[in-house]
């Protein structure tokens, strides 16, 4: 998409490079630090200094012990804050090309994201939906998918572990886990940082950090960030929006964090963190998955401007006691409150004259966690770690859907006259609604875990571990309202209506125009709805044991080989109407190599895996209800590679590559999209078919990211251009488990093979007083579908009986910017 600010940004580039001495980036870092573990209990303590031509070494705690990345026998990726800043990473979505097989797709009406890894994820973003890729901040589990939208700032590092992590770590990590580890307070000295980023779409980001020793044994660290930009989806002519309304894609985020360290004695220390995040953007909206010729893709006919007001407040504490060299005790505790209200245009104007508005009237999700860990001496021949884990969540939410439709004659008149299209049904026209009111949905989970490693010889180590988890999910008095009898909507062009469809029409003498629409903040009752509610009450208990076996072998001091067998499970789900599922279970086999070659100038990590899923959990919207179901199973095979090569002191080649074969096993089900294309309906006239062999979502056969940096020494400092290219083969991105083409809509649920390109030019003076950079993200302005849904799946929707309209979420358009920062 062209933007009026692009030329101005390029004019600012030389100025940013020459006058940025008031600010600085978080320092030039070695690009592409390879992998590191997720859900670590403790922050990185130190990094070993690198010799010229070597990569910096990061110490991580994936095994609940401090180990170098290259000595950690897991498929893990890690980046420190400097590397994140140099790659314009501000949240999890912007990290995807840097981590093998990681995909983050947007979602419109929840303010959150769906995270996939190795072709496995979860599209269930409801009150008790659990992600398949677990998300942690400072080792504390974040249960809501909205947590993964948090800004990344003032971090020690970010850790991404691939494959099941359910033995030492917390909940539901069958696909992997992500952990953000914030910068730790220091008692040594006062120091800080500050930075600013500007860009097109009026982007402005400011951030800062200061560390203050309050005493020899007490330190306080405070960090904050503010990031905002305009929306990227233009309002099409005819949109019913007020002047100044935010465009979809607009962001207005902020975060603040205060961390206090207190060393009571040499053996006892505590860290307390208060963390706040707020998002007041516009959210995202579906765009046309099959755009008409001559239309601007990043535009929509909007009659419900997007609004989002969500916040996450978290208090975390860590207490560490080290009474002797042989024993270390750690306690982690947290309390968090997530709140949200938002409005989303669910139809995005893809069918003019029909309006579907989704609203979260209110949502409040409270959660707590406690974890106690005990571990043995790091240098003992037999090392052990064990612990107890307790987690709870209480969720309250009201989510409404209003639908209405006016006559096509009125629509065509408005279009011809260039008028705003007001979808306000009058007598004889269609209006209906739904309301989901969950006043008390809760989860209680507890677990016990243990893992031991025996150093059989100098080269050989064997590890076994186990975890037992017990979950209790329940809904007390949850309500589903269908007003009056959703979804018997009136198809466009229908002249003979059924009795149910007649009830959907606005009737005279009611005292209101839109008879069955609820409206923002509207009262929902039998009188206003014209119906009684459905009961969501449910009670689900489940326990599961998971285990790990691993062997690692030091072929040479710089080459580590490992093999592991790991099991995991995904907690069963509660759905609308009190429906429940079985748990998803997984067994994963993995062979890997960690190596530092060519006198440590080349770091090369490889992982080959075979993952077998049983009763794989899937979610799909059917008749405006998010249905959860178990697929019979799935098989995922793959190979991942990550590398960093420094052929000289001034050259750096980094990258990753993934080959993936992820398909469903034999599974008899009904293909909703194919059935609708033929005028059939699942559950009645459409036959069941075998989905076996269908490719899983976000599982391209091949994907790779290649990055190159070169340092040019000038008389005044170091100038570093960077080029980063990402390629991905054809990918299935549609909802549900069927990757087959839809009759009449070839390729609609797939993203063709594509490439994207990111560019930057960074400058750092000889005294390293600041860093300045100009950058271009998605330089070729490639449009990539991340998620596709059919917007007319409801029985009786106005676009029925056979018309199918597909909406898609897309990646961000090309953006340009400049940033400056400093450390002091």
Q: What is the pLDDT of residue 669?
A: 83
Q: What is the pLDDT of residue 299?
A: 95
**Pairing, β 155-162 against β 251-263:** unpaired
Q: What is the pLDDT of residue 797?
A: 60
Mean pLDDT of 162-172: 81
| pLDDT tens digits along 394-418 | 999 999 999 888 888 888 888 888 8
Alpha helices in 23-89 (DSSP H): 81-86
What is the spatial order of strands in the sheet that 287-288 belongs to? 287-288, 806-810, 785-790
Mean pLDDT of 762-771: 94
Q: How far is CA 762 from CA 20, 427, 525, 646, 712, in A?
A: 11, 63, 60, 18, 10
More confident position, 131 or 746: 746
- Count of CB atoms within 10 A of residue 377's CB? 14
**What is the band of 253 on the pLDDT scale with cuts at 50, 70, 90?**
very high
More confident position, 632 or 401: 401
Q: What percent of the chain has pLDDT over 70?
A: 89
Q: What is the pLDDT of residue 738?
A: 83
Are the beta carbons of 817 and 205 closer than 8 angstroms? no
Mean pLDDT of 445-467: 95
Q: Give the chain's count of helices (H) and strands (E).
A: 6, 46
CA separation for the pair 777, 770 (Å, rounded): 22
Are the beta carbons of 674 and 742 closer than 8 angstroms? yes
Residue 378 φ/ψ region, left for φ over 0, alpha for ψ in the -120 to 50 degree band, beta for the rest: alpha
Q: How far is CA 269 from CA 36, 262, 317, 329, 518, in A?
A: 25, 6, 11, 11, 54
CA separation for the pair 247, 299 (Å, rounded): 9
- Count of CB atoms within 10 A of residue 216's CB? 8
**What is the band of 250 on the pLDDT scale with cuts at 50, 70, 90?**
very high
Are the beta carbons of 671 and 678 closer than 8 angstroms? no
Mean pLDDT of 548-555: 96
CA separation for the pair 711, 718 (Å, rounded): 6
**What is the band of 628 on the pLDDT scale with cuts at 50, 70, 90?**
confident
Q: What is the pLDDT of residue 622?
A: 61
Mean pLDDT of 375-388: 90
What is the spatial order of strands in the sheet that 133-137 belongs to? 76-80, 155-162, 176-182, 133-137, 140-141
Mean pLDDT of 523-540: 89
**What is the band of 259 on the pLDDT scale with cuts at 50, 70, 90?**
very high
Mean pLDDT of 361-366: 95
Q: What is the pLDDT of residue 185?
A: 97
The closest alpha carbon to 359, from 256, 419, 433, belongs to: 433
- Count of CB atoms within 10 A of residue 535's CB? 13
E strand segments, 346-459: 354-376, 382-405, 430-455
Please report the sign of the dihedral spanned by the C-alpha atoms of residue 279, residue 145, residue 75, residue 98. negative
Question: What is the DSSP-derived secondary structure letter of residue 114?
Answer: E
| Lowest-confidence segment of 18-22, 205-209, 375-379, 677-681 by average pLDDT | 18-22
Q: How far is CA 433 from CA 256, 466, 511, 618, 626, in A?
A: 39, 48, 18, 26, 16
Q: What is the pLDDT of residue 19?
A: 32
Q: What is the pLDDT of residue 799?
A: 60
Report phi then psi at 677, rounded to 5. -65, -25
Structure tokens at 505: 């029409």
Q: State whether residue 417 is helix, strand or coil.
A: helix
Q: Which residues contact 616 (CB under 8 A, 6 or more apart)?
A: 584, 630, 631, 632, 633, 634, 664
For the cut 90, the answer to whether the pLDDT of residue 335 exceeds it is yes
| pLDDT tens digits along 270-286 | 999 999 999 999 999 99
| pLDDT tens digits along 197-241 | 999 999 999 999 999 999 999 999 999 999 999 999 999 999 999
For the cut 50, the answer to whether the pLDDT of residue 7 exceeds it is no
Q: What is the pLDDT of residue 702?
A: 97
Q: State whether residue 144 is helix, strand or coil.
A: coil
Alpha helices in 729-806 (DSSP H): none
Q: Which residues contact 666 (CB under 8 A, 6 or more apart)?
A: 632, 633, 690, 692
Are the beta carbons of 468 and 447 closer than 8 angstroms? yes
Q: What is the pLDDT of residue 493?
A: 64
Q: What is the pLDDT of residue 342?
A: 94
Alpha helices in 63-149 (DSSP H): 81-86
Mean pLDDT of the chain: 86
CA separation for the pair 402, 345 (Å, rounded): 10
Q: What is the pLDDT of residue 456?
A: 95
Mean pLDDT of 507-515: 72
**What is the band of 37 on the pLDDT scale with cuts at 50, 70, 90?**
very low
Q: What is the pLDDT of residue 391?
A: 95
CA separation for the pair 529, 536 (Å, rounded): 18
Class of residue 726 by CB neighbours under 10 A (exposed 0-12, middle 13-18, buried 19+):
buried
Are the beta carbons of 195 and 821 closer than 8 angstroms? yes
Mean pLDDT of 108-112: 76
State the residue for tokens 């590679």: 641
Q: Which residues pair with 263 in a beta bridge?
A: 269
């Amino acid at each position: 998409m062209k933007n009026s600010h692009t030329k101005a940004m390029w004019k600012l580039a030389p100025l940013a490079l020459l006058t940025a001495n008031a600010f600085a980036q978080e320092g030039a870092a070695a690009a592409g630090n390879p992998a590191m573990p997720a859900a670590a209990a403790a922050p990185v303590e130190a990094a070993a200094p690198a010799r010229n031509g070597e990569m910096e070494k990061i110490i991580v705690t994936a095994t609940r012990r401090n180990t170098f990345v290259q000595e950690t026998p897991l498929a893990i990726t890690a980046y420190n804050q400097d590397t994140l800043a140099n790659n314009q990473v501000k949240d999890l979505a912007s990290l995807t090309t840097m981590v093998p097989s990681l995909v983050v797709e947007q979602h419109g009406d929840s303010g959150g994201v769906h995270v996939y890894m190795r072709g496995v994820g979860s599209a269930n973003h409801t009150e008790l939906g659990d992600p398949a890729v677990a998300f942690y901040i400072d080792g504390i589990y974040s249960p809501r998918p909205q947590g993964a939208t948090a800004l990344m700032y003032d971090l020690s590092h970010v850790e991404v572990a691939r494959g099941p992590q359910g033995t030492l770590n917390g909940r539901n990590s069958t696909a992997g886990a992500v952990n953000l580890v914030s910068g730790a307070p220091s008692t040594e000295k006062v120091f800080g940082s500050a930075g600013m980023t500007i860009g097109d779409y009026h982007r402005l980001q400011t951030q800062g950090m200061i560390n203050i020793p309050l005493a020899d044994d007490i330190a306080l660290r405070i960090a904050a960030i503010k990031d905002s930009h305009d929306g990227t989806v233009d309002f099409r002519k005819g949109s019913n929006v007020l002047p100044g309304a935010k465009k979809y894609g607009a962001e207005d985020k902020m975060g603040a964090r205060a961390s206090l360290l207190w060393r009571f004695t040499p053996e006892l220390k505590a860290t307390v963190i208060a963390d706040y995040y707020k998002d007041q953007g516009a959210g995202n909206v579906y765009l046309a998955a099959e755009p008409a010729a001559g239309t601007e893709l990043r535009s929509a006919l909007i009659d419900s401007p997007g609004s989002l007001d969500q916040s996450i407040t978290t208090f975390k504490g860590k207490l560490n006691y080290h009474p002797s060299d042989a024993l270390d005790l750690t306690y982690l505790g947290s309390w968090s409150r997530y709140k949200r209200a938002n409005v989303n245009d669910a139809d995005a104007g893809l069918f003019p004259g029909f309006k579907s508005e989704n609203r979260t009237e209110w949502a409040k999700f409270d959660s707590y966690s406690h974890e106690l860990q005990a571990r043995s001496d790091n240098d003992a021949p037999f090392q052990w770690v064990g612990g107890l884990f307790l987690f709870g969540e209480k969720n309250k939410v009201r989510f409404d859907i209003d639908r209405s439709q006016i006559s096509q004659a009125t629509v065509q008149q408005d279009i011809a006259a260039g008028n705003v299209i007001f979808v306000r049904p009058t007598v004889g026209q269609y209006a209906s609604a739904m309301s989901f009111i969950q006043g008390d949905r809760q989860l209680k989970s507890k677990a016990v875990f243990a893992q031991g490693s025996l150093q059989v010889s100098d080269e050989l180590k064997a590890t076994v571990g186990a975890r037992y988890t017990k979950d209790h999910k329940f809904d007390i008095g949850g309500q589903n309202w269908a007003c009056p009898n959703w979804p018997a909507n009136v198809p466009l062009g229908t002249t003979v209506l059924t009795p149910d469809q007649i009830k959907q029409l606005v009737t005279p003498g009611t005292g209101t125009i839109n008879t069955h629409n609820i409206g923002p903040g509207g009262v929902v009752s039998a009188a206003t709805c014209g119906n009684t509610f459905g009961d969501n009450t449910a009670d689900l208990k489940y326990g599961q044991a998971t285990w790990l076996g691993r062997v690692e072998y030091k072929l040479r001091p710089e080459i580590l080989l490992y093999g592991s067998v790991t099991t995991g499970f995904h907690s069963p789900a509660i759905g609308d109407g009190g429906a429940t599922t079985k748990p998803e279970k997984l067994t994963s086999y993995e062979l890997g190599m960690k190596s530092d070659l060519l006198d440590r100038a080349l770091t090369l990590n490889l992982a080959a895996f075979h993952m077998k899923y049983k009763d794989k959990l899937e979610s799909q919207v059917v008749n405006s209800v998010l249905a959860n179901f178990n697929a019979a199973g799935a098989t995922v095979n793959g190979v991942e590679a990550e590398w960093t090569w420094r052929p000289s002191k001034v050259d750096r080649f980094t990258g990753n590559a993934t080959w993936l074969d992820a398909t469903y096993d034999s599974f008899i089900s009904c293909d909703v999209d194919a059935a609708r294309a033929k005028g059939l309906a699942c559950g009645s006239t459409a036959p069941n078919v075998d989905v076996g062999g269908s490719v899983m979502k976000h599982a391209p056969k091949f994907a790779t990211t290649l990055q190159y940096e070169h340092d040019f020494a000038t008389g005044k400092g170091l100038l570093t251009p960077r080029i980063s290219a990402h390629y991905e083969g054809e990918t299935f991105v549609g909802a549900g488990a069927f990757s087959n083409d839809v009759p009449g809509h070839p390729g609609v649920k797939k993203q063709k093979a594509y490439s994207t390109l990111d560019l930057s030019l960074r400058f750092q003076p000889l005294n390293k007083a600041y860093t300045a950079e100009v950058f271009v993200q998605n330089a070729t302005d490639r449009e990539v579908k991340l998620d596709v849904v059919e917007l007319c799946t409801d029985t009786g929707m106005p676009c029925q009986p056979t018309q199918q309209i597909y909406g898609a979420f897309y990646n961000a358009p090309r953006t340009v910017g400049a940033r400056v920062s400093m450390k002091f």
